[in-house]
Amino acid sequence: MNVKFLKGVASLGVVALTLTACGSDGADDNSGSAGGGKVTFTAYGGTAQEAYTKAFVEPFAKESGIEVLQDSPTARAKIVEMVGSGNVIWDLVQSGYSIGVEDNALGVLEPIDCNVVPCADFTDGPAKAYKYGMPVQTFSVVLAYNTKSFADNPPTSYADFFDTKKYPGKRAIYTGAPTGALNGILDQALVNDGVARDQLYPLDVDRAIAKLDSIKNDIVFYTDFGQCTDLVASGEAVMGNCYNGRVLNAKTAGQPIDMAWGQQVIYTEYLVIVKGAPNRENAQRLLAYMVSKEHNGRLAGQIAYGPTNPKATVDPSSPFRSALPSEHMLDGDDAPLSVDNAWWAANMDMVGKKWDAFVAK
Amino acid sequence: MNFWTLAGLPGIVFLGAVFGIPLVLIVIRSFTDPGPENYLEIFTNERYLGSILRTVGMSLTVTLVCLVLAYPYAYLMARSSTFVKLLLGAMLLTSYWTSSLVRTFAWGAILNNTGIINQFLQDLGVIDQPLPLIRNMFAVFVGMTHVLLPYAVLAIYATLRTIDVDLERAALGMGARPVKAFWRITFPLSLPGVAAGAILVFVIGLGFYLTPMYLGGPGQELVSEMVAREVQDFLRPGRAAALSVVLLVFVGLILVIATRFVGLGAIVGNAAIDGRKNAAK
């Protein structure tokens, strides 16, 4: 191998890099002229994205003439890398709060254009419209239980989750990095340890972990949301903190699993637009379509995830209606909980360290 | 440029583009995003140190057990009739070619509290509570051994089949007992294959991700899982890069040390040639 040859390899590398750069320039040319073009929508994949496709994407594409491309799954790391490298291929993304819907802390989002998006509809609703993200759906973490284990006297609330005498058996609990606020298990632990609901935040993490430590021998940790219903339906665990939509799917598929709604933790999912997205105008339009009062309720016709627009309506005949979080707003001790996202964003590292130590112990 | 340089060019450019350049970028990033303190954090935080030690310990254990299991298997394969050889080979390759994802999930079904083993033992009344077979290091060990065993067998077999049976026969003819003939003649000649198998299993084991993720317990992450968590959950690609570089340097050191004892060719699968070379010495 000689110097000339090495030079040749190096220049080939340069050519390759130049080609890649041209590719990303090319994508910019597609940016949305109204009434055409395209837009890329990214969600988490699976049955939820199929529901989005039927409820929103297909009708939108038909009505607007805009071609909607789809990708999955949403990954914060990917968005950060895209923006950092200036090679953005996603436009509209379904994401959790932690991407920065309120303060754009990661600096990767475009502001929502309230001239296009009906932000005003949300003013008095439970789910707030933020500068960088619009709420699009609600879902909740429910108490999933194995119907064979508790045929006669099924649990009804997270109070039963912590009662291992009355309801013996393993509990499946989500672990992993607390980006999902640990699915609210710390909040539930504190409420069942006697902390008043209006005094939950700032969370007493040590006390919550001590409560969980008291049932540690009965905990089975899982790291992937799909594992939850598997663990419960198979009997590996008798209860778990699973997502309502997934429990309903498993139940409909004939698995021995059902859910209780006492102290459900209600979460909101958001739509965000990636900074420098090649088709951001079309992304604003698709976003507006999904959260508008005319369309937002359609998702619940496809999957058990509820609307966020207070003016949206759900088709009464939807088979998923009975499993929507909003249909099970219990009172008193069994009322729904919701995590304080801003507190979690500020304390994630602290909780993460304590939680990891607890799990590993 | 001669013919072979030309013919090798597409491969070189391909590897350079998809592996070489990204690798350089990762190394740079590990020092610059946010800075070299990535390494300080790794070497002072017990979570990272713990996962590195766990990964090395697990890989070593799996390697030792794989060698003990693989050697007799490879020996049988090398010295049996064609029929037995085919049978053993088919069993090995069927396992080898089955997706490691499938094999890992299968182990889940076997080792679960409600899995085959525990259910069977409970039905028999041998145990009341399920044995702790899943979501711990034991499960990871079993799963990794299953997936990696074929590498050890194939590496050892490749060497054993090149060892001339007449050498052993000569030893027997001169009065050595079979056990002695094996330990004095065959075994030393097969060592390059053993080393190749050991290094293959050890190095591949260091990077295992899926099996420990699915079969392992919480708080017992291996390095690969830590890398994934740093990228996906904590958004610290620089630290993930540093962890990867530490692992890579470690693998590099192992290979450097190993090549002092066996040729690099033996490690990358040319065990047969090296074995013959050594036999000729």
Amino acid letter for position B160: L
CA angle A39-A42-A46, nearest 5°?
135
Q: Answer yes or no: is A115 within a domain.
A: yes
- Domain range for B3: 1-32
Co-location of B116 and B27 in the same domain: no
Q: Which pLDDT score, from 0 to 100, does residue A353 have?
A: 84
Co-location of B15 and B51 in the same domain: no
ipTM of the prediction? 0.72
Co-location of B188 and B97 in the same domain: yes
Q: Using the beta-carbon criterion (under 8 Å), do A5 and B5 form an inter-chain contact? A: yes
Co-location of A24 and A147 in the same domain: no
pLDDT class for B229, splitting at 50, 70, 90? confident
From residue A25, how far is each of A28, A31, B241 by CA, in Å?
Answer: 5, 11, 28
Provide, rounded to the nearest whole percent, the portion of chain B with pLDDT above 70. 93
Q: At residue A42, does pLDDT exceed 80? A: yes
Co-location of B102 and B150 in the same domain: yes
Q: At residue A5, does pLDDT exceed 60? A: no
Co-location of A200 and A165 in the same domain: yes
Number of structural domains, chain A? 2
For residue A235, the chain B residues in CB contact (below 8 A) are 114
Q: Which pLDDT score, from 0 to 100, does residue A179 have?
A: 61
Residues B202-216: tens digit of each pLDDT: 999 999 999 999 999
Q: Answer yes or no: is A307 within a domain.
A: no
Q: Using the beta-carbon criterion (under 8 Å), do A223 and B112 form an inter-chain contact? A: no
Q: Answer yes or no: is A112 within a domain.
A: yes
Q: Which pLDDT score, from 0 to 100, does residue A17 have?
A: 43
Q: In terms of CA atoms, which chain A residue is nearest residue B112?
A: A236
Q: Using the beta-carbon criterion (under 8 Å), do B218 and A359 form an inter-chain contact? A: yes
Q: Answer yes or no: is A306 within a domain.
A: no
Tell me the C-alpha distance between A304 and A321, whole Å. 7
Q: Answer yes or no: is B39 within a domain.
A: no
Co-location of B28 and B80 in the same domain: no
pLDDT class for A348, splitting at 50, 70, 90? confident
pTM, 2 dp: 0.80
Co-location of A130 and A157 in the same domain: no
The answer to whether the beta carbons of residues B190 and B160 sit under 8 Å apart is: yes
pLDDT class for A280, splitting at 50, 70, 90? very high
Co-location of B242 and B156 in the same domain: yes
Q: What CATH number does the domain containing A81 carry?
A: 3.40.190.10
Co-location of B20 and B60 in the same domain: no
For residue A352, the chain B residues in CB contact (below 8 A) are 234
Q: Using the beta-carbon criterion (under 8 Å), do B232 and A75 form an inter-chain contact? A: yes
Co-location of A233 and A350 in the same domain: yes
Which residues sit opposite A69 in a β-bridge? A40
Tell me the C-alpha distance between B229 and B48, whole Å. 12
Q: Answer yes or no: is B37 within a domain.
A: no
pLDDT class for B279, splitting at 50, 70, 90? very low
Range with the poorest average pLDDT among A24-38, A327-341, B13-27: A24-38
Q: At residue B267, does pLDDT exceed 90? A: no
3-state secondary structure of A223: coil
Among B17, B220, B237, beta carbon nearest to A77 = B237
pLDDT class for A35, splitting at 50, 70, 90? low
Co-location of B105 and B13 in the same domain: no
Pick among B32, B226, B234 to test the A interface (most A CBs inside 10 A): B234
pLDDT class for B91, splitting at 50, 70, 90? very high
Among A5, A106, A177, beta carbon nearest to B233 = A177
Q: What CATH number does the domain containing B190 carry?
A: 1.10.3720.10
Most confident of A29-38, A288-297, B92-101, B220-229: A288-297
Which positions in chain B have a beta carbon within 8 angstroms of at least one beta carbon in chain A?
A: 1, 5, 9, 12-13, 16-17, 21, 47, 112-114, 135, 213, 217-220, 229, 231-235, 237
C-alpha dihedral (A83, A89, A92, A97), degrees to nearest 10:
-40
Q: Which pLDDT score, from 0 to 100, does residue A224 have?
A: 78
3-state secondary structure of A174: strand
For residue B237, the chain A residues in CB contact (below 8 A) are 77, 80-81
Q: Which pLDDT score, from 0 to 100, does residue A175 have?
A: 87
Co-location of A78 and A66 in the same domain: yes
Mean model confidence pLDDT for chain B = 90
Co-location of A249 and A235 in the same domain: yes
Q: Answer yes or no: is A312 within a domain.
A: no
Tell me the C-alpha distance between B279 and B191, whole Å. 11
Number of structural domains, chain B? 2
From residue A331, how far is each of A11, A138, A194, A305, B1 by CA, in Å?
Answer: 70, 19, 17, 21, 81
Mean pLDDT of A110-118: 97
Q: Which pLDDT score, from 0 to 100, does residue B265 have?
A: 60
Mean model confidence pLDDT for chain A = 88
Co-location of A289 and A196 in the same domain: no
Q: Which pLDDT score, from 0 to 100, does residue B234 have?
A: 81
Co-location of A217 and A133 in the same domain: no
Co-location of A104 and A146 in the same domain: no
Residues A287-327: tens digit of each pLDDT: 999 999 999 999 999 999 999 999 999 999 999 999 999 89
Co-location of B11 and B109 in the same domain: no
Co-location of B138 and B95 in the same domain: yes
Co-location of B28 and B55 in the same domain: no
Mean pLDDT of A129-148: 96
Co-location of A19 and A121 in the same domain: yes
Q: Answer yes or no: is A102 within a domain.
A: yes
Co-location of A248 and A335 in the same domain: yes
Residues A241-267: tens digit of each pLDDT: 999 998 998 999 999 999 999 999 999
Co-location of B28 and B49 in the same domain: no
Q: Answer yes or no: is A2 within a domain.
A: no
Co-location of A96 and A189 in the same domain: no
Q: Answer yes or no: is B175 within a domain.
A: yes
Residues A139-198: tens digit of each pLDDT: 999 999 999 999 889 999 999 999 999 999 999 999 876 567 788 999 999 999 999 999
Q: In terms of CA atoms, which chain A residue is nearest residue B220?
A: A360
- Domain range for A118: 7-137+269-301
Q: Answer yes or no: is B57 within a domain.
A: yes
For residue B21, the chain A residues in CB contact (below 8 A) are 13
pLDDT class for B266, splitting at 50, 70, 90? low
Q: In terms of CA atoms, which chain B residue is nearest residue A235?
A: B114
For residue A13, the chain B residues in CB contact (below 8 A) are 13, 16-17, 21
Q: Answer yes or no: is B40 within a domain.
A: no
Q: Using the beta-carbon criterion (under 8 Å), do B229 and A223 form an inter-chain contact? A: no
